C-alpha cells in the first residue's frame, strides 16, 4: 500500500495535534512530510522530533533561530515566514495538505496547495468564507479535491456518498448552540471570554470556541456549506441541537433525510478526510444511543445571535462582503478574548464594518487582500472608540 505523505498547516493547534494522533495510529498509511505553526515553537519542536518530517516551518520569523537550533541534530529542513509556508505546500512529494491554520492567514497557502494540485483536507473554514468563489474555481481548474474536516460538513459529505446524481432539497446544519444557548440578552451582556471558552461538547481552539459562543462559527459554516456543496444559502437550515450527536443531515427531493451521527470527536472527520472513500478502524468513543434521553432540535434565535443573520446578509450581498464579515469578526473575536470588547458589541461592530467598508462586486485576490486590511482597520477603530 502506498503511504500518503501529509503536510499539516497549523500542526500545533487543536485540529493539527488531532491529525497527528490519527497519523500516529496508522503509520502504515500516513507519513508526516511537512508541518507548520504560527508561533508555538516549543510544541512544533516536540512534534518535529517525534514525527521527523522533511520540512518544518514557523510563520513568525522571530522564532526561526530557536527552531533551527533545536533541530540542528536532525536532517530536517527548517524554514520560516508566510512565503515559506506557501512554498512548502507545493513540494512534489506531498499528497494531502491539511489546512488547519486559523483565520484569514490560511487563504494564501491553501490557494497555493490547490494550484499545486494537492488534495486539500480543509479545516480552515475562513478560507471559503473569504474567497469561496476563487477557491472553488481554482479547485476545479487544478483538479484539487477539497475534503471537509469541519464535523458538520464531513457529516454532509458522508451523507452524500452514493447520491452524486441526486438533488439536495435542503441541508440541515446542526449547531450545539454553545455555552450561551439558554442565556437571556441581559445575561449575555455580562459574559466574559472565560465563560465563552467553556464549550459544552467540543474541545477546540480559543478563536473557534468564541465563534461558537457567538454563533459566527455557524454563520461561517453556512457559507462554507454553500461553497462545498453548491447549495444556495436559502436551502441551508440551521438547527440548534444541543446534544451534538447528529452532526448534520441532507434532505433529498423525495423527503428522505440522511444524517451522520456519532460522539463529538474531531478525530473522526479528520480521519475520514484522510482515508476517504475508505473507513479505517478507530478506538474513538462510540455514541451510546441507549444512554441518550433526547435528541432535540430548535430554531436559532436570531435576536440573541445576530451573527447568523449577518452571515446570511453577507452572502446575499455577495462580492467582498463575506471577506468583510470575516475580517471584522477576527478583530472583535480577539478584542473580546483580550477584554477590549463586550460580547454583544461584537455583532454590532461587525454589522457596522459591513456598512462602512467599500463594496466590490467581483473581487480578485488582490481585492480581498485590500478589503481584509480595510475592514480590520475600521473594526479596530470601533473597538478602540468603544472603550
Ligand atoms: Mg463545525
pLDDT of res. 17: 98
How many angstroms is it from 248 CA to the middle of ligand 1?
Answer: 10
Which pTM does this prediction carry?
0.96
Condensed to tens digits (0 to 9), the pLDDT of residues 124-147 reads 999 999 999 999 999 999 999 999
pLDDT of res. 1: 75
Give dist(CA 191, CA 195) in Å, integer: 6
How many angstroms is it from 371 CA to the middle of ligand 1?
Answer: 26
Give dist(CA 260, CA 283) in Å, integer: 18
pLDDT of res. 281: 96
Over 90: is that where the pLDDT of 302 sits? yes
pLDDT of res. 123: 96
How many angstroms is it from 290 CA to the middle of ligand 1?
Answer: 25
Task: Give a yes or no: residue 79 inside a domain.
Answer: yes
How many angstroms is it from 41 CA to the middle of ligand 1?
Answer: 27
Over 70: is that where the pLDDT of 88 sits? yes
How many angstroms is it from 149 CA to the middle of ligand 1?
Answer: 8
Higher model confidence: residue 221 or residue 199? 221
How many angstroms is it from 49 CA to the middle of ligand 1?
Answer: 31
What domain range includes position 122?
Answer: 4-148
Task: Give a yes or no: residue 200 inside a domain.
Answer: no
Task: Give a yes or no: residue 380 inside a domain.
Answer: no
How many angstroms is it from 34 CA to the middle of ligand 1?
Answer: 25
Give dist(CA 31, CA 23) in Å, integer: 7
Q: Which three cell numbers stand for residue 143?
A: 483538479
Q: Which three cell numbers stand for residue 164?
A: 452524486
Q: Cα-Cα-Cα-Cα dihedral of 81, 151, 302, 358, to 10°? A: 30
How many angstroms is it from 87 CA to the middle of ligand 1?
Answer: 28
Mean pLDDT, range 253-281, rounded to an integer: 97
Task: Give a yes or no: residue 13 inside a domain.
Answer: yes
Over 80: is that where the pLDDT of 221 sits? yes
How many angstroms is it from 73 CA to the middle of ligand 1?
Answer: 39
Task: Give a yes or no: residue 127 inside a domain.
Answer: yes
DSSP state of 298: B
Under the banding of pLDDT at 50, 70 and 90, the label for residue 205 is confident
How many angstroms is it from 273 CA to the middle of ligand 1?
Answer: 14
Over 90: is that where the pLDDT of 198 sits? no
Q: How many CB atoms are located within 10 Å of the residue 295 CB?
A: 13
Closest CA to 204 of 281, 213, 336: 213
pLDDT of res. 387: 62
pLDDT of res. 91: 98
Burial classification of residue 259, based on how many CB atoms lie within 10 Å of its CB (0-12 exposed, 13-18 middle, 19 or more buried):
middle
Q: Which CATH number does the domain housing residue 41 bear?
A: 3.40.50.720
Domains of the chain: total: 1
Q: Which three cell numbers stand for residue 232?
A: 444556495
**pLDDT cut 70: percent of the chain above it:** 100
pLDDT of res. 98: 98
Mean pLDDT, range 202-228, rounded to an integer: 93
pLDDT of res. 303: 95
Task: Give a yes or no: residue 245 inside a domain.
Answer: no
How many angstroms is it from 236 CA to the middle of ligand 1?
Answer: 14
Under the banding of pLDDT at 50, 70 and 90, the label for residue 345 is very high
How many angstroms is it from 37 CA to the middle of ligand 1?
Answer: 21
DSSP assignment of 73-108, as one string? TS--EEEESHHHHHHHTT-TT--EEEE---GGGGHH
How many angstroms is it from 108 CA to the middle of ligand 1?
Answer: 22
Task: Give a yes or no: residue 246 inside a domain.
Answer: no
Task: Give a yes or no: residue 61 inside a domain.
Answer: yes
pLDDT of res. 386: 78
pLDDT of res. 100: 97
> How confident is the prediction for the chain on average, in pLDDT?
96
Closest CA to 209 of 197, 222, 193: 197
How many angstroms is it from 151 CA to the middle of ligand 1?
Answer: 5
How many angstroms is it from 235 CA to the middle of ligand 1?
Answer: 18
How many angstroms is it from 171 CA to the middle of ligand 1?
Answer: 14
How many angstroms is it from 54 CA to the middle of ligand 1?
Answer: 31
pLDDT of res. 140: 98
Q: How many CB atoms are located within 10 Å of the residue 167 CB?
A: 9
How many angstroms is it from 152 CA to the middle of ligand 1?
Answer: 5
Amino acid at each position: 500500500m502506498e503511504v500518503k505523505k501529509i503536510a499539516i498547516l497549523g500542526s500545533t493547534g487543536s485540529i493539527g495535534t488531532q491529525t497527528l494522533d490519527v497519523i500516529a495510529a496508522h503509520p502504515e498509511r500516513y507519513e508526516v512530510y511537512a508541518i507548520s505553526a504560527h508561533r508555538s515553537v516549543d510544541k512544533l519542536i516536540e512534534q518535529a522530533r517525534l514525527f521527523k518530517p522533511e520540512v518544518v516551518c514557523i510563520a513568525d520569523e522571530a522564532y526561526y533561530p530557536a527552531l533551527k537550533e533545536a533541530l540542528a541534530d536532525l536532517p530536517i529542513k527548517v524554514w520560516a515566514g508566510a512565503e515559506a509556508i506557501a512554498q512548502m505546500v507545493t513540494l512534489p512529494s506531498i499528497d494531502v495538505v491539511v489546512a488547519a491554520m486559523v483565520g484569514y492567514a490560511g487563504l494564501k497557502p491553501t490557494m497555493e496547495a490547490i494550484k499545486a494540485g494537492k488534495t486539500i483536507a480543509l479545516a480552515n473554514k475562513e478560507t471559503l468564507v473569504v474567497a469561496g468563489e476563487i477557491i472553488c474555481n481554482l479547485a476545479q481548474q487544478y483538479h484539487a479535491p477539497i475534503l471537509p474536516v469541519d464535523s458538520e460538513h464531513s457529516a454532509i459529505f458522508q451523507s452524500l456518498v452514493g447520491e452524486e446524481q441526486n438533488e439536495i432539497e435542503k441541508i440541515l446544519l446542526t449547531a450545539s448552540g454553545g455555552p450561551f444557548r439558554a442565556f437571556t440578552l441581559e445575561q449575555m451582556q455580562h459574559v466574559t471570554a472565560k465563560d465563552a471558552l467553556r464549550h459544552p461538547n467540543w474541545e477546540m481552539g480559543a478563536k473557534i470556541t468564541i465563534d461558537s459562543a457567538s454563533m459566527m462559527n455557524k454563520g461561517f459554516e453556512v457559507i462554507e456549506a454553500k461553497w462545498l456543496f453548491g447549495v444556495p444559502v436559502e436551502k441551508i437550515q440551521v438547527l440548534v441541537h444541543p446534544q451534538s450527536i447528529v452532526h448534520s443531515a441532507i434532505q433529498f427531493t423525495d423527503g428522505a433525510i440522511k444524517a451522520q451521527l456519532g460522539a463529538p470527536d474531531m478525530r473522526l472527520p479528520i480521519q475520514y478526510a484522510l482515508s476517504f472513500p475508505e473507513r479505517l478502524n478507530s478506538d474513538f468513543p462510540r455514541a451510546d444511543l441507549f444512554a441518550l434521553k433526547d435528541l432535540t432540535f430548535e430554531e436559532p434565535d436570531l435576536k440573541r445571535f445576530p451573527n447568523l443573520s449577518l452571515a446570511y446578509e453577507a452572502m446575499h450581498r455577495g462580492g467582498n462582503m463575506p471577506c468583510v464579515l470575516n475580517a471584522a469578526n477576527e478583530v472583535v473575536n480577539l478584542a473580546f478574548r483580550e477584554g477590549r470588547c463586550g460580547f454583544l458589541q461584537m455583532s454590532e461592530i461587525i454589522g457596522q464594518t459591513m456598512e462602512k467598508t467599500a463594496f466590490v462586486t467581483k473581487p480578485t485576490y488582490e481585492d480581498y487582500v485590500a478589503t481584509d486590511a480595510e475592514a480590520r482597520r475600521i473594526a479596530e477603530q470601533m473597538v478602540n472608540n468603544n472603550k
